[in-house]
Chains A and B, each alone.
Chain A
Amino acid sequence: MLAFGTPAFVLAGALAALVPLALHLIRRRPPARAPLPTERFLTPDPRTSVRVSRPTDPLLLALRMLLLVLAGAAFARPAWVPRARGTSEIVLLDRGAAMASGDGWRPAVLAARGQLLGADGRSRGELVLFDTAAVRVPRRHITPALFDSLASAPPSASAVRYAAALRAIPDAARELRGADSVRVTMITRPRWGGWSDGLAPLRRAAWPGAIELVALPDAPAADSALRDTTPKRALYLADPRDRATAYPSAALQATGWNVTLVTPGQPLPPGAGLIVAAAPLPEATAREIVPRAAGGATLLVDAAAIPSLAAALPWTEPARADSSGGTMWFGGGLRLGGAAARVGGDARRGAAVIAAWDDGRSAAVARRTGAGCTVVVGTRLGRGEMVLDPAYPRVLDRLAHGCPSPGNHAGDDAPLDAGARAVLAGQGGRTVAAGAARAGGGVALGRWTMAAALLVALAETFLAYGRKKPA
């Protein structure tokens, strides 16, 4: 079946093909020179031109019309698509450690079984089991007995890497035969930190279609221990005359922090669990607060203080205005819009990205420093419209607890960045279909159609050149 990616071009080509026909028929042209031995008996006709009522050179006209139709068809991205043969399934089943908690494993296996097995007990697609790596189950082994054995055995103790699962999709799709579209379903308990590892290559090779997500109920939070031990006293280092300090200090107080405003250069009061550096710091102050972080406090540095502490921070570049702000995305679906500006830079080695901008670049990073934690935010905390966002206090609280708890898997608090979001939503740059992506696609005919158009153009050129009086 011939299909067009952009059918409007076909219509445009067909309409354009009418133009030479109309010109051919509408315009008046000088009469053709013809021999007539009895010319001496003719009376000169005052008309010097005649209207062409019928094509004088049908072959040339047909070639020109065909050329326009083919050009339009070539731009319409034609493809020969085999007759629809149904949709095959690819099920990505998370078997990471998170699936064991809260009795999530058995429902997940049952969901995969219902998705894959037909009424006759035969598989309708491919099964991929993944945690930090993905394993494709051979088609012949996908039986009811397989799902029974999976449900009875516990999942692995490994963390989850969604990137591994995504990479396995194209391989699984290649194994599918007899279907012209593929539906991908991921069954998991979302642990957004799993996206972080390997997302860069995923942006290049992401599955072009959308992925249906079967999200199991979340397990109880595993990082509550860190929250419980977080000191509640905070020092806010900023110019007291800067009215922008009011918002972050108020937000921190709203989430339970006892905030003390300290002017940079003044001695730091002891015993604070959180030190927020929101202004350029004198060298003495900078030298003083770094050991505080190593001693167990959390040092939260915003863009204004990055140059003062550059060497000690898990941030690659000095603060330099990079572009206008945007939305910061955190793990667990937490986001904060309305940042006024952002600075360039990324996480140094050993640091975790805990928030990302819309384009996937790092917005906030965290690194353990001795017993404490250093968090860097690539924007000014008190500027822009983000202070009016209802999520602002939660975000500040999240930043104040920036480093993952020791019992958590590395990167579990990392944000769902733009690449991951695009993959899930089917809106990535390479997305070609929503809901179902074609497997095998069809035979693209655009190049062949363009080649045919070129041949017709050549034929038209030679024909017109050969005519004594081109039509």
Chain B
Amino acid sequence: MTASTDFLPPGLLEHLGGLEIIAKTVVRGFQAGVHRSPLRGAGEDFAKHRDYQQGDDVRYLDWKLYARTDSLYVREFEERSNLQSYIVMDASASMDYGGAGGVAKLRYGSYLAAALAHLMLGAGDAVGLAAFGAEPRLLLGPRARKGHLHDLLLNLERLRPGGQGGAADVLDRVGVAMRRGGRVIILSDLLEDDGGDALAAAAGRLRARGDEVIVLRILTPEESGEAAPDAGLFYDPEHPARQVPATPRQDAGYPRRVAEYYASIAGRLRERGVEYVPLLTSEPVEQALVAWVNRRRG
């Protein structure tokens, strides 16, 4: 089975066929085929010739013109302006948790990321991939070309959970890597050591640049308290030395404290104009996406 079919089963593609990700914030680019970008670049429509400069891609040299004029010119095209998007995947150790018989959060997030990438690439948007966990990494720059989806899915497949790093560093790097305002989709359980302060701040910085920031919070029913586990000696995978004997199923305060934590983060994010979408791994991926897009359409 190829990575594509692994991440995008036919049922999922079928559900997502009529969906569009509609940008809510102002972006500099326009969707391909609808808007034209004032910026020159590698697009489909020829714009003009210019002198060759060192560093230019030799693929764009106009050899016929060189034969006639004995001078090197490169062809410039009107770039089809696309929305640049980054999918930022949380690959910390806590994302390896899947609860009792459920899918791990990292896997669930990968399904989501793959579906979103497919949708965005289908709409002509350039999609990049970043991850954080053991270390912040920009895995793939935003591309809209054919075959990029395969690369992206391959990188998602290679992600291994580990470490306890926060999202703030990688968000800052994404901000630097994106030349203009775009879209940043963060898939994470948001279990940050600082309670999400750095994450909210980094997301705020992106919003200040004009980027659209969406946070898809992924949690299992066991973590949210909907299906809290029975008695056990529990430990945080990101801090395995620390363990607590507890009976979450009989602890009425547990789901309340979890809800309060995420409500706090959601509040801080929304204050900064960041879209916060809580998801549970018990919910089918396509169903979650449909519900989310419908909410966006309002």
Whether the Cβ atoms of B97 and A37 lie closer than 8 Å is yes
Whether the Cβ atoms of B254 and A34 lie closer than 8 Å is no
How many residues in B have their beta carbons less than 8 Å from beta carbons of A?
30
Give the shortest distance, in Å, between B142 (CB) and chain A (any CB).
30
The verdict on B242 contacting chain A, using a C-beta distance below 8 Å, is: yes
Contact with B along A12-37 (1 / 0, CB 8 A): 00000000000000000011111111
Give the shortest distance, in Å, between B229 (CB) and chain A (any CB).
7
Whether the Cβ atoms of B233 and A42 lie closer than 8 Å is no
Give A36 to B242 CA distance when docked, in angstroms.
Answer: 11
Whether the Cβ atoms of A34 and B233 lie closer than 8 Å is yes
Chain B interface main SS type? mixed
Give the shortest distance, in Å, between B187 (CB) and chain A (any CB).
15
Contact with A along B42-58 (1 / 0, CB 8 A): 00000000000000000
Residues of A within 8 A of B271 (CB): none
Residues of A within 8 A of B261 (CB): 41
Which of A31, A32, A42, A45 has the most B CB atoms < 10 Å from its CB? A42
Whether the Cβ atoms of A38 and B191 lie closer than 8 Å is yes
**Stretch from B30-38, B109-117, B150-158, B244-252 contacting the other chain:** B244-252
Give the shortest distance, in Å, between B279 (CB) and chain A (any CB).
15
Task: Kindly identify which residue among B233, B251, B254 contacts A30, using a CB–CB cutoff of 8 Å.
Answer: B233
Whether the Cβ atoms of B244 and A44 lie closer than 8 Å is yes
Residues of B within 8 A of A228 (CB): none
The verdict on B243 contacting chain A, using a C-beta distance below 8 Å, is: yes
Interfacial residues of chain B within 225-256, with CB under 8 A of chain A in the complex: 229, 231-240, 242-248, 251, 253-254
Residues of B within 8 A of A30 (CB): 233
Whether the Cβ atoms of B94 and A37 lie closer than 8 Å is yes
Whether the Cβ atoms of B258 and A35 lie closer than 8 Å is no
The verdict on A50 contacting chain B, using a C-beta distance below 8 Å, is: yes
The verdict on B296 contacting chain A, using a C-beta distance below 8 Å, is: no
Q: A42-B254, A43-B251, A43-B253 known; A37 and B243 CB under 8 Å?
A: no
Residues of B within 8 A of A39 (CB): 234-236, 239, 242-244
Whether the Cβ atoms of B233 and A32 lie closer than 8 Å is yes
- What are the 5 closest A-B residue pairs judged by CB atoms, nearest first? A37-B94, A42-B246, A36-B234, A41-B257, A34-B232
Q: Which residues of A contact B (CB under 8 A)?
A: 30-45, 47-48, 50
22 A-B residue pairs with CB within 8 Å: A31-B231, A31-B233, A33-B234, A33-B243, A35-B97, A35-B237, A36-B222, A36-B232, A36-B235, A36-B236, A37-B189, A38-B254, A38-B258, A39-B242, A40-B236, A41-B257, A41-B261, A42-B234, A43-B251, A45-B245, A48-B245, A50-B231
Q: Which residues of B contact A (CB under 8 A)?
A: 94, 97, 189, 191, 222-223, 229, 231-240, 242-248, 251, 253-254, 257-258, 261
